[in-house]
Amino acid sequence: MTRYFPVSLDLEDRPCVVLGGGALAAEKAQGLLLAGARVSVVAAEPEAGLRQAAAAGRLTLVERDYRPGDLAGAWLAIDASGSDEINAASRREAAEARVLLNVVDRAQLCDWIAPAIVRRGPLQVAVSTSGESPFLASTLRRRLERDLGAEWEPFVRLVGEVRRRLRAEGVPLPEQEAVYRGLLRSDVRRLLRDGDAEAAAALAERIVSGPRPGRVWLVGAGPGEADLLTLAAREALATADVVLHDALVNPEVLALARPRARLVDVGKRAGGQRVPQERINALLLEAAAAGEEVVRLKGGDPFVFGRGGEELAALTDAGVEVRLVPGVSSATAAATLAGIPLTLRGVASSVAFATARGRGGVSPDLAALAAAADTLVVLMALEGLAETAAALAGVLGPARPAAVVSAAGTRRQRVVRGELGTIAAASAAAALEAPATLIAGEVCAVAARVGLSEATG
């Protein structure tokens, strides 16, 4: 619970007063000016920017210390003087005159507090910690500054124009929302970011004028936790109508989907039934044909042992628009998160990747791969680990360093280290869970020697 109520005020032509002449006071005055307020600044020693703004007629500058009565007639006031004496005096006057006052960094003296704001024209995103930590609010604002590029200003204005048009035409609200979602999902923002406003407007017109065909995103969900997801993947999930996901995708990742999106589990768990690939392809095509925004969410990267290539072929053959979003694959992430460098100068200059079970359950020729590369990474290695390790030991020797990383990139991640001759028994004793990745090579021993064996526990 907080005592502050977030609200956006119309300050157009409202008289507002700022006390203080430093950089902070100038920043506060600028914020009020951007909102269209009539700003007066009272300061004995105003900084250069305030003098320039006054000379340009943008604000009124009173070059002296604060005096009681300076807040008379003000709608809002900000005390950025940094003076305890002025803070106390302005607080008394504001209470008597019923002027809403903000005393910078003195929450106990404030009637209102100013959030950290990201401005993109009419778009304003405010971040507040209710006075608990302005530093944290500013930090979050900087993150938003990075995420919300300059293209958001013209995009918001364009959506505003579309909204006024649809309302004037009497378009029902559900149909309006469908248009807005179409604009948000489209390439309009990318075109604006690239400076092609004409193409952006043309695309927006096509979206407004008629139904948009469905589209499928093949998205990599990364190896585990939601913080390993790419920004592009998050954006695709946020606008999805339906998400077809693998069984092992983290629930925290699925929670990032649009609240009204349908979540369809099409994955396979160990020992369970799976949805045939042909059926998955059909579901993708059906949803796209219905004009839906579809996300096919795959663990890791969709094109690394994920059958994403088959889905891409089926969709493109049917003329469906496809967008590709790569993900962090456990093929590399498992080693990194365990502190094992797959390549290392003087130790390993080549690496091979394989899955323990190929098409139809037939194992690939892991021995040949192991002989050809300094480091071998085997995905989905837990089932049949003893046989896999034995086959590799026959080529590389039972003393070759090895490691198994279980549930890489999740809070359940565990790492078992050893040698090819002992790694299967050690993993069984540790009761590791799937999915698990086997890594074989001298880099496993190097990682242990330099103190990385405790990197993940």
Residue 273 predicted with pLDDT over 70: no
Alpha helices per DSSP H over 290-365: 308-317, 330-337
Residue 272 predicted with pLDDT over 60: no
| Preceding amide of 341 cis, omega within 30 | no
Of residues 66 and 330, which shows the higher confidence score?
66
Nearest Cα to Cα of residue 241 among 306, 173, 163, 182: 182
Residue 202 predicted with pLDDT over 50: yes
pLDDT class of 363 with cuts at 50, 70, 90 = low
pLDDT, mean of residues 267-292? 82
pLDDT (tens digit per residue) in 103-151 = 998 989 999 988 888 999 999 999 988 888 888 999 999 999 998 999 9
> Taking each helix axis from N to C terminus, what angle separates 152-168 and 197-209, rounded to the nearest 10 degrees?
30
Q: Which residue has the tokens 């309302």?
A: 167
- Is 298 a known active-site residue? no
Tokens representing residue 432 in the block: 């590791």
User: Out of 246, 298, 301, 374, which one is annotated catalytic?
Assistant: 246
pLDDT, mean of residues 287-311? 92
Q: What pTM did the predictor assign?
A: 0.70
| Greatest alpha-carbon span in the chain | 91
Q: Which domains does the chain have, with CATH numbers?
A: 15-114 (3.40.50.720), 119-126+134-211 (no CATH), 215-325 (3.40.1010.10), 331-449 (3.30.950.10)
- Is 268 a known active-site residue? yes
Average pLDDT, the chain: 90
pLDDT (tens digit per residue) in 6-45 = 888 999 999 999 999 999 999 999 999 999 999 999 999 9
User: Out of 105, 147, 194, 268, which one is annotated catalytic?
Assistant: 268
